[in-house]
Amino acid sequence: MTTATETADLPHWQTEPHHHEEGASTTLGFWIYLMSDCLMFAVLFACFGVLGGSYAAGPGPQDLFDLELVALNTGFLLLSSITFGFAMLSAQAGRKGPALGWLAVTLAFGLAFLAVELYEFHHLIHLGAGPQRSAFLSSFFALVGTHGLHVAFGSIWLVTLMVQIRQHGLGPANLRRMTCLSMFWHFLDVIWIGVFTLVYLLGTV
């Protein structure tokens, strides 16, 4: 048993109570998750880099990709990041209505992005250029499809967050959730820029 004299002789970091900022573990855990996602996309990019030239006597990027359509889709995702930034500014100012409005616009751009991507996948499969056609198409569908699944998950998360903000306002917990979703959404934007450059732009130009 430690006496009062022994306690007084201990260094202050062993006697003072430790204070952890509320939500610090959530933020750290989310950063760890994003880093793991980075590794997964790095593997998918590496696979495409290795297999992207294996057409198996089938169609290549110049035969399949509509660069104007992909550029339009890229614009949707870039604009969604801008509108999410406006939503964050409104939330930090405590303006619930504008924050929800900007989140709704962000969701609309995200859903537009998914709609164009689903159309592209359907069109490619209709042409007989499905993922089983060649190693190039397998790696393409794996990379672009994984990114699309992340956008779909982010859209569901966005709807859930909007409901939470509408019901409970812009309290510390919802602001923390919104910050995590903002990092996730901007992360997907950065990944898509890599996809657009490596897969579409370099493949067709």
pLDDT tens per residue across span 74-108: 999 999 999 999 999 999 999 999 999 999 999 99
Q: What pLDDT, in 10s, does the model give residues 42-67?
A: 999 999 999 999 998 899 999 999 99
pLDDT(11) > 60: no
Q: Kindly tell me if the per-residue pLDDT of 10 is higher than 80.
A: no
For 145-183, the pLDDT digits (tens) are: 999 999 999 999 999 999 999 999 999 999 999 999 999
**3-class secondary structure per residue, the chain:** CCCHHHHHHCCHHHHCCCCCCCCHHHHHHHHHHHHHHHHHHHHHHHHHHHHCCCCCCCCCHHHHCCHHHHHHHHHHHHHHHHHHHHHHHHHHCCCHHHHHHHHHHHHHHHHHHHHHHHHHHHHHHHCCCCCCCCHHHHHHHHHHHHHHHHHHHHHHHHHHHHHHHHHHCCCHHHHHHHHHHHHHHHHHHHHHHHHHHHHHHHHHC
d(CA 37, CA 43): 10
Q: Of the given ranges (3-12, 68-77, 186-195), which has the lowest mean pLDDT?
A: 3-12
Query: Domains in the chain, ordered, with CATH?
Result: 67-200 (1.20.120.80)
Q: List, for residues 24-34, the tens digit of each pLDDT value.
A: 577 888 999 99
pLDDT band at residue 109 using 50, 70 and 90 as cut-offs: very high
